[in-house]
Amino acid sequence: MKAFKVLYNQNKLYSEITTEASYTDQRNELSLRAVLNGSEKYKIGKRTVTVFPGNFLILNEGTSYDRTIYSDSIANTFAIFFSKKFLRDFQYGFSSSDRNLLDEPIDNEIIQRTTFLETIYPCKGDIKYNLSHLIDHFNENSDDLLLDDYIYHALLLFYRLYYREVLNKSNHLDALNAGTRDELFKRLSLAKDFMLSNYNQDISLEDISRHSCLSPTHLFRTFKQIYNCSPHQYLIQTRLDNARHMLKSTNYTLNEIVNLVGFTCPSTFIKLFKNKFHFTPGTYRNHVA
């Protein structure tokens, strides 16, 4: 089942509920892509990323990609496409002084196209609440102006997140110059995306290192500067976060979840889960979720 809506200002909303779908050579405006259930695979150039619940992907205007859903359970995906004009007005509103906005309410200059790092971002906190409300109102076919309020806030929150997750974090790198720092940060983002996309597989530091074009030692050292943990710890956290989502929103048994998120030993999983969330998985499912 698909639902698509073009708002009065050309912003677009799209949702799809399916177990199987494939789209090749897609190209759109700047878009934010989230998954509520299941997963969705994107092939962007030579790399492949998989978006799971709890994360979202940003694709820049004009980026060519293939999109695939192939799942045993039903996948529920959602996307916002920000129109060029909306994006330009948003940026103009924030980059201009109040006086300037009064003198020239409409931006007549050609602003350079904004590009963001095309990576997987955490869908937590305010942006999670915002998207959840937006999806509800989209499904209820609410008024365009109301939907637009949520889209405005989604973009606002994404800018904040971008500042925190990309601009601020990249400054933590001990690189010599800005160019080197940006390139290193991009490669570390590839490492992160590889783990987020393949957390349920048996992956090693060598695999991550190969996909991010960094030596294992360099990856280990610099990853910690950005994410405050080792790649292995990051992978474990990702598995636990996904296990928590499954405990909350699926009927899989504990043993099934252990296998689905990439753990091999249930007792190790229970111990790690309790350490992170202060509840056993069983208690979490029965009393907290």
Partner 1 sequence: MMSSEFINGIPFYLNEPKMALDFLVEKLGFVVHGHPVSKNLDGVMVCDSYGNFYKIFSVTQKNVNNKNDFNLVINTTDCLHDFYNMGTAGLSILDKPHYVREGLAFEILDPWGNKYTFLEKRDYTE
Chain residues in the site for partner 1 (CB under 8 A): 124-126, 129-130, 133, 137, 143, 145-146, 149-150, 153
CB of 160 to partner 1, least distance (A): 9
- The DSSP line for 190-212 is HHHHHHHHSTTS---HHHHHHHH
Say if residues 24 and 41 touch (Cβ distance below 8 Å). no
Beta strands at 12-26 and 65-82: parallel, antiparallel or unpaired: antiparallel
Report the residue count for the chain.
289
Name the residue nearer to partner 1 (CB basis): 62 or 125: 125
User: Rounded distance, CA 165 to CA 121, Å?
Assistant: 8
Nearer to partner 1 (CB atom), residue 150 or residue 234: 150
User: Cβ distance 157 to 104 under 8 Å?
Assistant: no
The token duo for 256 is: 């099934």
Q: Nearest distance from residue 236's CB to partner 1, in Å? A: 17
Contact 114, 106 (CB under 8 A): no
Comparison of 4 and 129: residue with beta carbon closer to partner 1: 129
133/218 with CB nearer partner 1: 133
Minimum distance between the CB of residue 142 and partner 1, rounded to whole angstroms? 8
**CB closer to partner 1 out of 46 and 287:** 287
Amino acid at 122: P
To partner 1, the closest distance from the beta carbon of 152 in angstroms equals: 9
Residue 157 beta carbon to partner 1: minimum distance, rounded to whole angstroms: 8
Running DSSP on this structure, what letter comes out for residue 114?
A: P
Smallest gap from Cβ 187 to partner 1, in A, equals 29
Residues in Cβ contact with 175 at an 8 Å cutoff, skipping those fewer than 6 apart: 181, 184
CB-nearer residue toward partner 1: 113 or 248: 248
Burial (Cβ within 10 Å: 0-12, 13-18, ≥19) of residue 277: middle
Closest CA to 92 of 155, 177, 7, 185: 155
Question: Smallest gap, in angstroms, from Cβ of residue 36 to partner 1?
Answer: 16
Cβ distance to partner 1 smaller for residue 5 or 137: 137
Pairing of β 40-44 and β 65-82: antiparallel
Cα maximum dimension of the chain:
66
